[in-house]
A = this chain, B = another copy of it.
Amino acid sequence: MTLPMTVPAPGLPARVRIHEVGARDGLQNEKASVPTRVKAEFVRRLAGAGLTTIEATSFVHPEWVPQLADAEELFPLVAGLSGVDLPVLVPNDRGLDRALALGARRVAVFASATESFAKANLNRTLDESLAVFEPVVARARDAGAHVRGYVSMCFGDPWEGAVPVHQVVRVCRALRDMGCDELSLGDTIGVATPGQVRALLTALDGAGVPTPVLGVHFHDTYGQALANTYAALQHGVSTVDASAGGLGGCPYARSATGNLATEDLVWMLRGLGIDTGVDLDRLVATSVWMAEHLGRPSPSRTVRALSHKEQ
């Protein structure tokens, strides 16, 4: 493969860390039931394609997310992968206990920027949900774990519509103050546009939440994910969440399109001369393999283009 041509643009990071969420955020939102051994093989293949941060699963109550009810079985199958960080989602104290008991070294909590989503997703007020996370984050850090804080609905909310920047900043500050090492700014319903991305990052800078601790997590519901990513890179963001093959989606969004596809991201970064360590051909092969298990084609345009047979 000789394309894309590599032509850097000024002011972008030299290297981007891709936080691969396909095995957790992706499979969590897929209808098909995937056997544990296939999930483990998926994580192994993602690592084989050069991804070094692979969110593996969620230690949420099995009734809430049946797709990830096998976290206890899955994690030990992949924990030995060398050179790969395997963060896991922990919703509360009980989830943290389960994760730490299995030796997890990176955990993530999942907060909301809006009252409505806190209510819908966690059945708590926003402040109640933050109060639940505080001891979880403290105990995780005491145990030596790295903690990521997800902030969902940062750019729009299906119930509230527009989300004020100051509200997102408040939640980000609270998560940082309780000890989160990094934050992931989620456009959970995919409505953001580049000016919004820029404005939020600028506001966070001004509020003492510096860009190096931030990742961005865009959904492609309206086709905006990569343009927003480019805007974030221009602001200095160097951690980008993406899902191999574009797996998954948000059950609250108005269509089935989901996460930014890792392959579409890698194509852009490769063109920009930004190092990711990812072997695009192996990653595409992995997504094609997983699509066969799920019984539907990948929504990633790059996967489709590169896996299309030459005429």
Contact = CB atoms under 8 A, between A and B. Distances in A.
B161 A3 contact: yes
A159 B89 CA distance: 46
A185 to B, nearest CB: 14
Contacts of A191: 3-5, 271
A267 B190 CA distance: 11
A301 B257 contact: yes
Nearest to A157: B3
Interface string A154-168: 011000011100000
A155 B9 CA distance: 15
A194 interface: yes
Nearest to A234: B234
Contacts of A221: 301, 305
A229 interface: yes
A84 to B, nearest CB: 26
A272 B5 contact: no
A256 B195 CA distance: 31
A4 B272 CA distance: 28
Given A221-B301, A254-B306, A302-B223, A230 B162 contact: no
Nearest to A264: B223
Given A192-B4, A223-B264, A230-B231, A308 B9 contact: no
A224 B5 contact: no
A2 interface: yes
A198 to B, nearest CB: 5
Nearest to A2: B161
Interface in A229-245: 229-231
Interface of A: 2-9, 155-156, 161-163, 190-196, 198-199, 220-224, 226-227, 229-231, 253-257, 261, 264, 267-268, 270-273, 300-302, 304-306, 308, 310
CB-CB nearest 9 A-B residue pairs: A193-B271, A223-B264, A7-B195, A223-B301, A9-B195, A255-B305, A2-B161, A7-B196, A226-B227
Given A220-B223, A254-B306, 15 more contacts: A3-B156, A4-B155, A4-B222, A5-B156, A7-B193, A7-B199, A8-B195, A9-B198, A192-B271, A193-B267, A223-B261, A224-B268, A226-B226, A230-B230, A257-B305
